[in-house]
């Protein structure tokens, strides 16, 4: 059936400019429920704080995996790859080197205000005395040597070790939640994640005095003041690297090195002292503001996040032009050509100038599709496949689509950029950020005003193709797993942008499908300012 008007769930998803609120809500509920249950249950059993807090760190990761499994979202946009094509080493360097710089800035600020004084060695000796009996202390190296080892470890191996545990949080907060909120705008998404992340720590702060001993009520609020700017910085790493691992390393460094900052200073009010008091918040907030003010958080990059669930944030329709752009998408055999021709005939009879296009309707496009579809024995790298399809689309856009729209025509395209995101992205496993960036740069970020996604079960599509008794091309002959991944990709795109992408059940008789497509198209054309035709057309038989 056609999802127009959008269902309640879809309308809620669209209300955030493409945010899939169902995925966001389910994840937050699970993340809080899993971690808080672990913390409260283990505390009741007398498990040490360090153990229960470490176990709870994996709650967000578990929530993200459960959410994606329940909703069938897949893992392709979680940022699991270790490296990126955009100077991968520098993002890890930023995380490794930048974290201690920010922490030292907070420490220096505390010393400059005069409220605290340097007392690292004395504090370390007191810590040793509280944790080991005097007999054992006499057998240990001098405290200065142990402290030097501690500092060296905190600056070298500890960030990576702690990063393993921090990944339990990063996979949830930045691997899932940030990406699902990205269509809302990167800054707003980062701020929202910061608040959710900060409040997630509330039981630890209230029950155990975590970070703010003696302040069970103010503690969660102040921790949110800390996690919000940190979230902006980690979001910058996530968006620009395309991976969660630089953020996990920075998070691990923060956990490993933050305790040294506390150890270096004389005791003071935890709401004020760095790293999580006001004096520690100031440097990281300054860094976050700088990233936003200089456009580093929101600026275009090949590694900016653009997933099926975030595609709506890039979906800039061409409705400012006189014409109207319609595309038809779906797996092979879904009936795109049949419905496109029927809709074109209906609109032409009503007096509209209609231009119907296929990807092969330029000389370059014909060469590209002819080679890629028919030469099945020639191995083609997925990137080569994607780049060639994008090249053909650029030519089609410049030669045919944009001129037709500028002349006021209704353009009906059999496939457009959504196919690349579904086939080469979801199907071939290419990174969605790079595919979106290609469309953004090469195709001027031009998207249809209206897209019909023709839904059809894979088995039915195969039966239709067999009935035609035609040779199968490279994609039609692909394994079922590929086609199922493509269908999931299309579904995620539609869920992310239900206003533009209208889902149609094309397993029904063609005449029924056409009637619904026609009604939606006529309504959208009228909303666009093009007169609604008076009569009905002849549906396909």
For 15, counting Cβ atoms within 10 Å of its Cβ (0-12 exposed, 13-18 middle, 19+ buried), the class is exposed
455 DSSP 8-state letter: E
At 169, list the tokens: 């949080």
322-348 pLDDT tens trace: 789 999 999 888 889 899 999 999 999
Q: How far apart are CA 62 and CA 171, in angstroms?
A: 9
Check if the beta carbon of residue 405 is closer than 8 Å to that of residue 321: yes
Instruction: Please tell me the least confidently modeled range out of 6-10, 71-75, 522-526.
Output: 6-10
> What's the pLDDT at 279?
95
Per-residue pLDDT band for 471 (boundaries 50, 70, 90) equals: low
Q: Is the pLDDT of residue 120 over 90?
A: no
Average pLDDT over residues 411-440: 90
Q: How far apart are CA 396 and CA 403, in angstroms?
A: 10
Q: What contacts 363, CB < 8 A, 6 or more positions away? A: none
> What's the pLDDT at 84?
53
Average pLDDT over residues 199-206: 96
Instruction: Please tell me the least confidently modeled range out of 59-63, 299-303, 345-349.
Output: 299-303
388-410 pLDDT tens trace: 999 999 999 999 998 888 888 99
Q: How far apart are CA 341 and CA 510, in angstroms?
A: 12
Q: How far apart are CA 368 and CA 512, in angstroms?
A: 34
Find which of 128-132, 359-363, 412-416 is predicted with most confidence, using mean pLDDT: 412-416
Per-residue pLDDT band for 319 (boundaries 50, 70, 90) equals: very low
Beta strand pairing status for 354-357 and 316-317? unpaired
Find which of 2-11, 312-321, 359-368 is predicted with most confidence, using mean pLDDT: 359-368
Q: How far apart are CA 431 and CA 101, in angstroms?
A: 32
Check if the beta carbon of residue 168 is closer than 8 Å to that of residue 182: no
Q: What percent of the chain has pLDDT over 70?
A: 85
Q: Is the pLDDT of residue 294 over 80?
A: yes
Task: Spell out a b/e string for 275-294, using b for 16 or more CB atoms within 10 Å of the CB, else e.
Answer: bbbbbbbbbbbebbeebbee
Instruction: Please tell me the least confidently modeled range out of 101-110, 128-137, 419-428.
Output: 128-137
Per-residue pLDDT band for 140 (boundaries 50, 70, 90) equals: confident
> How many other CB atoms are there within 10 angstroms of residue 457's CB atom?
14
Q: Is the pLDDT of residue 412 over 60?
A: yes
253-282 pLDDT tens trace: 999 999 899 889 999 999 999 999 999 999
Average pLDDT over residues 185-193: 92
> What's the pLDDT at 374?
65
Average pLDDT over residues 240-253: 92
Domains of the chain, CATH where assigned? 77-303 (no CATH), 310-528 (3.40.50.300)
Chain center to CA of 497: 14
Q: How far apart are CA 430 and CA 386, in angstroms?
A: 9
Q: Regarding predicted confidence, which is higher, 170 or 85?
A: 170
Q: How far apart are the first and last CA of the chain?
A: 18
Q: How far apart are CA 223 and CA 214, in angstroms?
A: 14
Per-residue pLDDT band for 313 (boundaries 50, 70, 90) equals: very low
């Amino acid at each position: 059936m056609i999802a127009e008007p959008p269902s309640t769930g879809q309308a809620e998803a669209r209300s955030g400019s493409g945010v899939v609120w169902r995925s966001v809500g389910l994840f937050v509920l699970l993340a809080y429920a899993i971690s808080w249950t672990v913390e409260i249950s283990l505390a009741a059993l007398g498990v040490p704080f360090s153990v229960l807090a470490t176990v709870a760190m994996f709650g967000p990761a578990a929530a993200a995996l459960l959410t994606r499994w329940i909703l069938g979202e897949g893992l392709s946009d979680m940022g699991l790859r270790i490296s990126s094509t955009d100077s991968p080493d520098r993002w890890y360097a930023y995380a490794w080197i930048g974290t201690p710089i920010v922490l030292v800035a907070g420490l220096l600020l505390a010393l400059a205000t005069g409220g605290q004084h340097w007392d690292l060695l004395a504090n370390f000796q007191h810590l040793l005395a509280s944790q080991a009996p005097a007999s054992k202390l006499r057998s240990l190296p001098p405290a200065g040597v142990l402290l030097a080892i501690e500092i060296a470890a905190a600056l070298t191996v500890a960030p990576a070790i702690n990063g393993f545990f921090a990944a339990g949080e990063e996979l949830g907060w930045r691997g899932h939640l940030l990406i699902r909120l990205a269509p809302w705008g990167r800054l707003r998404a980062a701020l929202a994640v910061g608040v959710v992340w900060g409040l997630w720590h509330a039981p630890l702060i209230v029950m155990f005095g975590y970070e703010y001993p003696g302040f069970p009520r103010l503690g969660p609020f102040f921790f949110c003041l800390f996690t919000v700017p940190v979230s902006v910085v980690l979001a910058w790493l996530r968006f620009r690297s395309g991976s969660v691992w630089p953020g996990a390393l920075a998070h691990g460094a923060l956990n490993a090195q933050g305790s040294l900052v506390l150890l270096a200073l004389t005791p003071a009010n935890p709401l004020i002292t760095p790293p999580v008091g006001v004096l520690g918040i100031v440097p990281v907030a300054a860094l976050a503001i700088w990233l936003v003010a200089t456009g580093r958080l929101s600026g275009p990059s090949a590694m900016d996040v653009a997933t099926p669930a975030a595609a709506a944030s890039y979906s800039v329709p061409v409705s400012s032009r006189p014409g109207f752009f319609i595309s038809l998408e779906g797996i092979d055999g879904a009936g795109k050509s049949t419905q496109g021709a029927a809709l074109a005939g209906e609109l032409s009879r009503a007096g509209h100038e209609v231009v119907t296009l296929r990807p092969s309707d330029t000389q370059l496009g014909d060469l590209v599709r002819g080679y890629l579809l028919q030469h099945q024995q020639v191995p083609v790298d997925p990137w080569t496949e994607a780049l060639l399809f994008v090249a053909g689309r650029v030519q089609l856009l410049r030669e045919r689509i944009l001129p037709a729209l500028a002349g006021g025509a209704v353009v009906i395209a059999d496939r457009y950029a959504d196919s690349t995101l579904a086939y080469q992205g979801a199907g071939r496993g290419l990174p969605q950020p790079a595919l979106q960036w290609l469309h953004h740069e090469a195709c001027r970020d031009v998207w249809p005003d209206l897209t019909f996604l023709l839904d059809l079960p894979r088995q039915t599509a195969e039966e239709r193709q067999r009935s035609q008794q035609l040779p199968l091309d490279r994609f039609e002959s692909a394994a079922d797993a590929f086609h199922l991944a493509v269908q999931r990709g299309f579904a995620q795109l539609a869920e992310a942008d239900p206003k533009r992408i209208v889902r149609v059940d094309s397993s029904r008789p063609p005449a029924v499908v056409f009637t619904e497509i026609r009604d939606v198209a006529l309504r959208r054309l009228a909303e666009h300012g093009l007169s609604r035709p008076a009569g009905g057309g002849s549906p396909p038989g």
